[in-house]
Protein backbone atom coordinates (compact mmCIF):
# COMPACT_ATOMS: atom_id res chain seq x y z
CA UNK A 1 0.00 0.00 0.00
CA UNK A 2 1.81 3.04 -1.26
CA UNK A 3 0.70 6.58 -0.78
CA UNK A 4 0.67 9.74 -2.81
CA UNK A 5 2.14 12.90 -1.30
CA UNK A 6 0.82 16.34 -2.21
CA UNK A 7 2.67 19.39 -0.91
CA UNK A 8 0.11 22.13 -0.67
CA UNK A 9 -0.45 25.81 -0.05
CA UNK A 10 -4.19 25.12 0.26
CA UNK A 11 -4.79 27.04 -2.94
CA UNK A 12 -7.64 25.88 -5.14
CA UNK A 13 -5.48 23.96 -7.57
CA UNK A 14 -4.72 21.42 -4.85
CA UNK A 15 -8.05 19.96 -5.92
CA UNK A 16 -6.51 19.17 -9.31
CA UNK A 17 -3.65 17.36 -7.62
CA UNK A 18 -6.11 15.45 -5.44
CA UNK A 19 -8.07 14.46 -8.54
CA UNK A 20 -4.98 13.17 -10.28
CA UNK A 21 -3.99 11.28 -7.15
CA UNK A 22 -7.42 9.71 -6.66
CA UNK A 23 -7.54 8.83 -10.34
CA UNK A 24 -4.19 7.07 -10.14
CA UNK A 25 -5.35 5.14 -7.08
CA UNK A 26 -8.60 4.04 -8.64
CA UNK A 27 -7.76 0.39 -8.45
CA UNK A 28 -5.37 0.01 -5.56
CA UNK A 29 -5.64 1.04 -1.99
CA UNK A 30 -3.59 3.81 -0.47
CA UNK A 31 -3.74 7.18 1.13
CA UNK A 32 -3.19 10.74 0.09
CA UNK A 33 -0.92 12.79 2.31
CA UNK A 34 -1.27 16.56 2.23
CA UNK A 35 1.89 18.26 3.43
CA UNK A 36 1.98 21.92 4.32
CA UNK A 37 5.20 23.64 5.23
CA UNK A 38 6.24 26.60 7.27
CA UNK A 39 9.62 28.05 7.98
CA UNK A 40 11.41 27.74 11.22
CA UNK A 41 14.01 30.24 12.39
CA UNK A 42 17.30 29.30 13.90
CA UNK A 43 16.40 30.31 17.42
CA UNK A 44 13.61 28.41 19.02
CA UNK A 45 11.15 29.91 21.46
CA UNK A 46 7.58 29.01 22.20
CA UNK A 47 6.52 32.40 20.95
CA UNK A 48 7.79 31.52 17.50
CA UNK A 49 4.88 29.22 16.89
CA UNK A 50 2.43 31.93 17.80
CA UNK A 51 3.76 34.38 15.27
CA UNK A 52 1.27 35.38 12.68
CA UNK A 53 3.00 34.33 9.52
CA UNK A 54 2.99 30.66 10.50
CA UNK A 55 -0.71 30.48 11.12
CA UNK A 56 -2.37 28.21 8.60
CA UNK A 57 -4.82 29.61 6.16
CA UNK A 58 -7.71 27.86 7.87
CA UNK A 59 -10.38 29.35 5.70
CA UNK A 60 -8.74 28.09 2.53
CA UNK A 61 -8.23 24.69 4.06
CA UNK A 62 -11.87 24.28 5.00
CA UNK A 63 -12.96 25.43 1.58
CA UNK A 64 -10.57 22.97 -0.02
CA UNK A 65 -12.04 20.02 1.84
CA UNK A 66 -15.58 21.12 1.10
CA UNK A 67 -14.71 21.40 -2.60
CA UNK A 68 -13.04 18.04 -2.52
CA UNK A 69 -15.96 16.17 -1.07
CA UNK A 70 -18.09 17.74 -3.79
CA UNK A 71 -15.59 16.75 -6.47
CA UNK A 72 -15.58 13.17 -5.19
CA UNK A 73 -19.26 12.87 -5.98
CA UNK A 74 -19.06 14.76 -9.26
CA UNK A 75 -16.31 12.65 -10.75
CA UNK A 76 -17.12 9.31 -9.06
CA UNK A 77 -13.61 9.09 -7.66
CA UNK A 78 -12.63 6.57 -4.98
CA UNK A 79 -12.80 7.98 -1.48
CA UNK A 80 -9.24 7.65 -0.32
CA UNK A 81 -8.31 8.55 3.23
CA UNK A 82 -6.47 11.86 3.41
CA UNK A 83 -3.78 12.49 5.98
CA UNK A 84 -2.64 16.00 6.80
CA UNK A 85 0.83 16.77 7.91
CA UNK A 86 2.33 20.10 8.80
CA UNK A 87 6.07 20.37 8.63
CA UNK A 88 8.13 23.03 10.34
CA UNK A 89 11.33 23.50 8.40
CA UNK A 90 12.82 21.08 5.87
CA UNK A 91 16.18 19.63 5.05
CA UNK A 92 17.33 16.83 2.81
CA UNK A 93 17.32 14.10 5.50
CA UNK A 94 14.01 15.35 6.87
CA UNK A 95 12.46 15.22 3.41
CA UNK A 96 13.72 11.71 2.76
CA UNK A 97 12.51 10.53 6.15
CA UNK A 98 9.17 12.20 5.61
CA UNK A 99 8.67 10.53 2.24
CA UNK A 100 9.78 7.18 3.58
CA UNK A 101 7.56 7.51 6.61
CA UNK A 102 4.51 8.13 4.47
CA UNK A 103 5.53 5.33 2.06
CA UNK A 104 5.51 7.76 -0.81
CA UNK A 105 4.94 6.28 -4.24
CA UNK A 106 4.73 9.59 -6.02
CA UNK A 107 4.71 13.27 -5.19
CA UNK A 108 2.21 15.42 -7.03
CA UNK A 109 3.03 19.13 -6.93
CA UNK A 110 0.20 21.56 -7.62
CA UNK A 111 1.02 24.60 -9.70
CA UNK A 112 0.40 27.08 -6.90
CA UNK A 113 3.09 25.33 -4.92
CA UNK A 114 5.41 25.37 -7.94
CA UNK A 115 4.90 29.09 -8.35
CA UNK A 116 5.19 29.89 -4.65
CA UNK A 117 7.86 32.42 -3.81
CA UNK A 118 8.28 31.28 -0.23
CA UNK A 119 11.81 30.13 0.49
CA UNK A 120 10.66 26.98 2.27
CA UNK A 121 8.57 25.93 -0.73
CA UNK A 122 11.42 26.58 -3.17
CA UNK A 123 13.78 24.62 -0.93
CA UNK A 124 11.30 21.75 -0.71
CA UNK A 125 11.04 21.59 -4.50
CA UNK A 126 14.78 21.77 -4.98
CA UNK A 127 15.35 18.93 -2.52
CA UNK A 128 12.49 16.93 -4.03
CA UNK A 129 13.96 17.17 -7.52
CA UNK A 130 17.23 15.81 -6.21
CA UNK A 131 15.56 12.89 -4.44
CA UNK A 132 14.72 9.61 -6.14
CA UNK A 133 10.98 9.78 -5.76
CA UNK A 134 8.78 10.23 -8.83
CA UNK A 135 7.50 13.78 -8.96
CA UNK A 136 4.57 14.96 -11.03
CA UNK A 137 4.38 18.68 -11.64
CA UNK A 138 0.99 20.00 -12.63
CA UNK A 139 0.73 22.83 -15.16
CA UNK A 140 -0.99 26.11 -14.60
CA UNK A 141 -4.11 25.67 -16.65
CA UNK A 142 -5.45 22.17 -16.06
CA UNK A 143 -9.18 22.49 -16.28
CA UNK A 144 -9.33 19.37 -14.13
CA UNK A 145 -11.99 17.68 -16.17
CA UNK A 146 -9.64 15.52 -18.19
CA UNK A 147 -8.15 12.39 -16.72
CA UNK A 148 -4.68 11.33 -17.69
CA UNK A 149 -5.12 8.75 -20.42
CA UNK A 150 -1.93 8.72 -22.41
CA UNK A 151 1.59 9.51 -21.47
CA UNK A 152 4.63 10.06 -23.61
CA UNK A 153 7.87 8.74 -22.26
CA UNK A 154 10.84 10.87 -23.19
CA UNK A 155 13.86 8.75 -22.59
CA UNK A 156 16.89 7.42 -24.30
CA UNK A 157 16.21 4.83 -26.90
CA UNK A 158 17.39 1.74 -25.11
CA UNK A 159 15.89 2.60 -21.77
CA UNK A 160 12.85 0.60 -20.75
CA UNK A 161 9.99 1.48 -18.48
CA UNK A 162 9.81 0.19 -14.94
CA UNK A 163 7.11 -2.36 -14.09
CA UNK A 164 5.60 0.19 -11.69
CA UNK A 165 5.03 2.54 -14.59
CA UNK A 166 3.62 -0.24 -16.76
CA UNK A 167 1.02 -0.83 -14.09
CA UNK A 168 -0.16 2.79 -14.07
CA UNK A 169 -3.72 3.39 -15.25
CA UNK A 170 -2.55 5.54 -18.16
CA UNK A 171 -1.15 4.24 -21.40
CA UNK A 172 2.52 5.07 -21.74
CA UNK A 173 3.95 5.47 -25.20
CA UNK A 174 7.68 5.15 -25.47
CA UNK A 175 9.24 7.92 -27.47
CA UNK A 176 11.09 5.43 -29.63
CA UNK A 177 7.77 4.13 -30.95
CA UNK A 178 6.87 7.39 -32.63
CA UNK A 179 8.50 9.16 -35.52
CA UNK A 180 11.36 11.09 -34.02
CA UNK A 181 11.46 13.57 -36.92
CA UNK A 182 8.27 15.24 -35.88
CA UNK A 183 8.35 18.10 -33.39
CA UNK A 184 7.19 17.19 -29.92
CA UNK A 185 4.10 19.39 -30.07
CA UNK A 186 2.67 17.64 -33.09
CA UNK A 187 3.38 14.22 -31.59
CA UNK A 188 1.57 15.26 -28.43
CA UNK A 189 -1.38 16.56 -30.38
CA UNK A 190 -1.57 13.61 -32.73
CA UNK A 191 -1.55 11.04 -29.98
CA UNK A 192 -3.67 13.08 -27.55
CA UNK A 193 -0.95 12.90 -24.95
CA UNK A 194 -1.83 14.39 -21.60
CA UNK A 195 1.18 13.52 -19.51
CA UNK A 196 4.88 13.73 -20.15
CA UNK A 197 7.07 11.19 -18.37
CA UNK A 198 10.78 11.83 -18.33
CA UNK A 199 13.64 10.29 -16.47
CA UNK A 200 15.57 12.38 -14.01
CA UNK A 201 18.73 13.60 -15.70
CA UNK A 202 21.50 15.69 -14.34
CA UNK A 203 22.20 17.68 -17.46
CA UNK A 204 19.40 19.73 -18.89
CA UNK A 205 17.71 17.85 -21.71
CA UNK A 206 18.10 19.81 -24.91
CA UNK A 207 15.40 20.63 -27.46
CA UNK A 208 12.52 19.28 -25.41
CA UNK A 209 10.78 22.37 -24.27
CA UNK A 210 8.58 20.27 -22.06
CA UNK A 211 7.27 23.07 -19.90
CA UNK A 212 5.75 24.94 -22.81
CA UNK A 213 3.38 22.05 -23.63
CA UNK A 214 1.17 22.86 -20.68
CA UNK A 215 1.03 19.23 -19.65
CA UNK A 216 1.72 17.59 -16.32
CA UNK A 217 5.28 16.33 -16.16
CA UNK A 218 6.17 13.19 -14.26
CA UNK A 219 9.85 12.95 -13.44
CA UNK A 220 11.05 9.51 -12.48
Partner 1 sequence: MSIRTKIAFVFVLMTAVFLLLLSVFVYFFSLRHTHDYFFTQLRVRAAIMAEHQLELNVDKSLRVQEIRERHLQLLPKEEGFFFPVHDSLFQEVQAAHPEIPVWFLQEVEELDVSTFNSGYMHYAGILYTAQEGEYLVIVRAYDESGEDHMKFLLNMLLLGFAISSVLAFVLGRYFARHIMKPVSAIIARVKHITISNLHERLPKGNNNDELDEMTSTFNTMFDRLETTFELQSNFIGNASHELRTPLTAILGESEVILQSPRDTADYIASIRMMQREAKRLDEITTSLLNLSQISFDGKKQRIEPELMDELLLSIKIGFDKRMPDNHITLLIQPLKETEEDTFMLPCVRVWMELALTNIIQNSIKYSDNKEVLVTLEADTTNFFIHISDYGIGIPTEEIRHIYEPFFRASNTGKYTGYGIGLPLAERIVRLHGGKMNVQSRPLAGTKVTLTFLRTKG
Name which of 26 and 126 has its Cβ closer to partner 1: 26
Strands of the sheet containing 82-88, edge to edge, are: 82-88, 32-38, 3-7, 104-109, 135-137, 217-219, 195-198, 150-153, 171-174
Pairing mode, strands 217-219 and 135-137: antiparallel
For partner 1, which residue of 154, 173, 187, 210 counts as binding (CB under 8 A)? 173
According to DSSP, the residues that pair with 73 across neighbouring strands are none
Could you tell me if 13 and 110 are in contact, meaning their C-beta atoms sit under 8 angstroms apart?
A: yes
Q: Which of residues 33-72 bind partner 1 (CB under 8 A)?
A: none
Q: Which of residues 134-163 bind partner 1 (CB under 8 A)?
A: 147, 149-150, 157-158, 160-163
DSSP-assigned letter for residue 193: -
* Shortest distance (Å) from residue 14 CB to partner 1: 21
Instruction: Output the CA angle 212-106-12, nearest 5 degrees.
Output: 60
Name which of 46 and 179 has its Cβ closer to partner 1: 179
What track of x and - describes contact with partner 1 for positions 95 through 124 (by CB under 8 A)? Answer: ------------------------------
Q: Count interface residues toward partner 1 (CB under 8 A).
A: 27
State the residues that interact with partner 1 by CB under 8 A.
23, 26-27, 76, 78, 147, 149-150, 157-158, 160-163, 166-167, 169-174, 176-178, 191-192
Amino acid sequence: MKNIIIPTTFENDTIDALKVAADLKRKGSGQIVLISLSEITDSITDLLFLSEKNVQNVGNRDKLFADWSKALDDFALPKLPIIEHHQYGISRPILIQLLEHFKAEMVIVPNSFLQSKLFIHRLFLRLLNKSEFPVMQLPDDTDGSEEIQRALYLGENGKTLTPALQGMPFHIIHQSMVDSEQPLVSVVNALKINLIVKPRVNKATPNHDVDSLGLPVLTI
